[in-house]
Structure 1
Amino acid sequence: MIQPPVRRILSVRVHDVTLAEALELVEAFIAEGGSHQVCTVNPEFIMHARRNPDFFRVLEGSSLNVPDGVGLLWAGRMLGQPLRERVAGVDLMEALIARAAERGWRVFLLGAAEGVAERAAKVLQARYPGWVLAGTFAGSPRPEEAPAIRERLQEARPDLLFVAYGAPQQDLWIARHQPALRIPVAMGVGGAFDFIAGVVPRAPRWMREAGLEWLYRLIRQPWRWRRMLALPRFVLAVLAARYASR
């Protein structure tokens, strides 16, 4: 298996992969067996990891950290750690579902609000006929729910698990339970189920390509403003790191 180049954005590990390369790596992980974790790193992840040592360790130990966010591409250029392409988590998830339809992989959707995973599964089954739905469940990352969720997953035997509990909870949950579950690939996907199910509209393509998806989400969900404060902090941290390196 080819090991993708590793970049360091404010000391946080990110792999320089394209969407096509990430898809091939995940396929190799599933063929290899064992347990692998995929993380979709964006500027919020970077800022969380800088103040949360447990989350930093998750990103250090994961099998693949894709660069999800144009802010990472900008930071990579500023810091001499170039990244070729943004790999959005929802795009990688859909590409993997399409590949699951070809390969016969079993897929489990875990998380989001009650009923959202089921709605997302129906949309994906219409969009990519033939993939195997191993199960859906909302649940939560609360410790007291973990035994019942693990039991569901062990009975379902998925090859691919998507977890939508939001970062960093989803990624910490996967890292905590993957060794026992031994699911070949588990990936945190944030709001992907909401986008796919149509609960939350995704930004138009032109805004995504222009790096303005954050603005669209802020307009649609103004309550997110506190979370969005991570973005200017990220920019300032990158500029300070660039200055210090000079």
Structure 2
Amino acid sequence: MKIVVVGGTGLIGSQVCALLREGGHEAVPAAPSTGVDTLTGEGLAAALKGADVVVDVSNSPSFDTEPALDFFTRSARNLFAAEKAGVRHHVALSIVGVDEVPGYGYYEAKVAQENAVRGSGVPYSIVRAAQFFEFVAPVMDMSTEGTEVRLPSTRLRPIASADVAAAVAEAAQGEPSNGIRTIAGPEVHGLDRLGEITLAVKPDGRTVVTDERAGLFAGMPDVLTGDDRTHLATTRYEEWLRRN
């Protein structure tokens, strides 16, 4: 099959492309660096010509409400206009608990993207993933004040990006579910605890201070760990950290 991966040069997309090629498919990365811009529609028709499946793992360059909403909704409109030429399956990557966090603009933008997928008329599969392991270090850096890393105790069930990519690639090679599959890592940790684990494995002179008002995840409701229907990957954060 020809499978076009929107965002195919990024963290998840590059791994998805590699897995699809290993599976014997033609995986085409679509990104501004490959001449495809979903915001303007430039290059979309050519990239999607003859495509059986489109995988969208692209991300907004901004977490602010208006830019994120514009990115996801405008990209979706352009993508689905191009997909009407014959794409039979659209796979979208979303976030665990995304529709249970009112007032958080980036999540509201992702909900709008999901709604566009459902209303497109193209058979689809949505994969909702927990926060990536790779996200922990940048969050810590953004929350550092001097030698203190100030983090809330918000509960997460983070997952390795490789496990996310595997789930997305599996969905792309299967039949459309016209539904949602939720995936997460094997362990629930508070974000502050994830910071402590990180600094225990890779000490750098910083210490973690629990601060319920600090950072992007402050005040988040307890919905980021999935439920009893969530598929759990096996890679543990501490094991992954020691290898990376």
TM-score by length of 1: 0.28
TM-score by length of 2: 0.28
Q: Higher relative CO (CA 8 A, sep ≥ 6), structure 1 or 2?
A: 1
